[in-house]
A and B are shown apart, each in its own frame.
Chain A
Amino acid sequence: MLAESLALSAVLFTIGVIGVLTRRNAIIIFMCVELMLNAVNLTFIAFSRYYGAAGQVFVVFVMTVAAAEAAVGLAIIISIFRHRQSVNLQNINLLRG
């Protein structure tokens, strides 16, 4: 069971990384990051079968923090939307040099 769970979470994590690197919509990038976090949660749960409850406690922390991060992140995305009427990163290029 452990090997399968770890393989699945590694695949999910990789999909998340590829999504962050290839997509240009801020909301979709953020969803890919959440996918990466959930892949990590799966890893923790898989290990906690062998090592006890610490892994599960960690998952609760990760979910709480992800919720807080989502609140702040969506607020930031809204504030950029107010300026540009778009959340596409290709249009967001004031800072460079």
Chain B
Amino acid sequence: MTFDLSVPSQLMAAFAPDMLLMGGAMILLLWAAWRPESEAHQRSVGVASIVLCVTVIIAIAFYIARGDSSLPGIIAVDNFRWTADIVFLIATIGTIALSMDYNAKEGITAGESHVLLLLATSGMMTLAAARDLMIVFLGIEIMSVAVYVLAGLNRRSEKSAEGALKYFLLGAFSTAFLLYGIALVYGATGTTNLTLIGTRVAQVGLSSNAMLVVGIAMLIIGFGFKVALAPFHMWAPDVYEGAPTPITAYMAAAVKAAAFAAFMRVWLEAFSGVTSSWHGPIWWLAVATMVVGNLIALSQKNIKRMLAYSSIAHAGYILVTIATSTTASTGAFMFYLIAYTLATFGAFGVIVALERDGASQLNIEDYAGLWTVRPWLASAMAVFMLALLGFPIFGGIGFFAKYWIIQSALQAPVPQTKLAIILVLTSVVSAGYYLYVVMVMFMRPRKEDALPFLRTGGWTKFVIGAAAILILILGVLPNSVVRWTQRSNNVVPVAAATPQITAVSNVSNPR
């Protein structure tokens, strides 16, 4: 059905999956606080949270199956929103599953940690739905406030507290920039609604309006901090290293994906009429982020820091799709988020499995000879590293993700050939650190004095296995899915064939 968002009941219906998650999280929060903290209670709250996430995914599948859309309003009802929501929820399930084992290992017994993840995810779903700068702001804050707490979850660890403080101060600082940008865009156009901003900037020809240009610049800085683009990335490695490992995975995958989803929608719906006033800065940010992220990652010894810099590099690749901003690049963007989320979760799952309490055993050198002791873990880690690298076949879906970004950049009306070339060159550089991990695991002998690895928890095994299998299966399937969608355009598969989904074209002509 088509929702008329000016009617409150229909607005509620269009927002129902998000409300379901928020309401469920509130109830779980009460339940988590009801019983005294214990290891068993922490696990049961975690399982209940996973069940809630699955329920919300089913509700979203119901909306997709009905093919809902909406009239212009403060939130969007389209495939872009639903696909992003599913990515966030899958990432949340992965985080909760890893957290249950990690909390047991680190002696964290607070069941509320899982509920905080649900609250952060409800903020992300709000962000993916937002079609008004007011909702963008609310979504970012609901998400960020919960993640500030999660970053400092391990109260006994000084590093965790330090990471949380840095994250909080820079997060609040960047929010102020984002808000100032929103205020100036509001001043230049007289509205906070993305659709109205889009029509007004095109009609009135505001591309050289100083207030609008400064507003866009402020928004770029604000979003740049949130998604960790160079040169706004300094906080990311420190925070990622300090935070508990499952939360690091959550920040590297879900938080980044949510901020990017809002970034993409704001840019395509509001500012696609004034490309000339932002294309240059975005282009240079993409180049700087790809180069800086990949070069610094080469020199990292700690695997969490290495993956932090790698996530900065991936933010650069994703920014290429915003610099291109066509319908095809929206599809490539969504597909990349799926691939990147799966590979990131798998890699952090392996780190959780191998980490000993007190955050030791985190250096890449500690993985030497992993193949001889834990062949399955080593093989899975190799798949995740190759997927992040974008290696064909063994890297599965990672290869197609990069392929579609390059494809969309080259086939745009204004081809971004230079960006595509830099993307390929920096990816070659990234082989230096991804393949190094693989080399250490498979070719170095196990050290004599190395500590034995702990037994891998059941939930951790589940996350690693599911991520590896999905990466490999989707790495074989995309071709057939694409061919199939070319034959029959009436059914649009949701996740696997997102390059076919035209989020923004759905926005302009609702079904």
Contact = CB atoms under 8 A, between A and B. Distances in A.
Interface of A: 6, 13, 16, 20, 26, 29-30, 33, 36-37, 39-40, 43-44, 46-47, 50-51, 54-55, 57-58, 61-62, 65, 68-69, 72-73, 75-77, 79-80, 82-84, 92, 94-97
A36 B221 CA distance: 15
Contacts of B237: 95, 97
- The interface size bin for chain B is 35 or more
B131 interface: no
Given A47-B183, A65-B138, A69-B141, A76 B301 contact: no
B161 A79 contact: yes
Given A33-B172, A36-B176, A97-B302, A83 B161 contact: yes
Contact of A36 (B159, B180, B182, B238): B180
17 contacts: A6-B187, A20-B169, A26-B169, A33-B169, A37-B175, A37-B176, A43-B187, A44-B186, A54-B186, A58-B182, A58-B186, A62-B137, A73-B172, A80-B162, A80-B165, A92-B162, A94-B159
A37 B302 CA distance: 36
Given A54-B192, A95-B163, A79 B155 contact: yes
B149 interface: yes
A43 B137 contact: no
Contacts of B190: 50-51
B241 interface: yes
Interface string B127-165: 000000010011001000100110010010011011111
B150 to A, nearest CB: 11
A72 B148 contact: yes
Contacts of A62: 137, 179
Contacts of B159: 94-95
Contacts of B165: 26, 76-77, 80, 92
Contacts of A57: 134
Contacts of B145: 65, 68-69, 72
B485 interface: no
B387 interface: no
B183 A29 contact: no
Nearest to A13: B180
Top 6 nearest A-B pairs by Cβ distance?
A: A36-B176, A95-B238, A43-B183, A40-B179, A51-B190, A83-B158
Contacts of B273: none
Contacts of B175: 37, 69
Contact of A97 (B148, B186, B300): B300
A97 B191 CA distance: 44
Given A61-B134, A79-B152, A95-B242, A84 B141 contact: no
Given A51-B190, A95-B238, 17 more contacts: A26-B165, A30-B172, A33-B176, A36-B176, A40-B176, A51-B191, A58-B137, A58-B186, A72-B148, A73-B172, A76-B161, A76-B165, A77-B165, A79-B152, A94-B242, A95-B237, A95-B241
A35 B305 CA distance: 33
Contacts of B164: 76, 79-80
A76 B168 contact: yes
Nearest to A33: B172
A36 B159 CA distance: 28
Interface in B381-439: none
A76 B155 CA distance: 10
Nearest to A29: B169
A41 to B, nearest CB: 9
B184 A43 contact: yes
B161 A16 contact: no
Contacts of B141: 65, 68-69
Contacts of B183: 40, 43-44, 47, 55, 58
Contacts of A33: 169, 172-173, 176
A50 B241 CA distance: 47
Contacts of B172: 30, 33, 69, 73
Nearest to A37: B176
Contacts of B184: 43
Nearest to B158: A83
Contacts of B163: 95
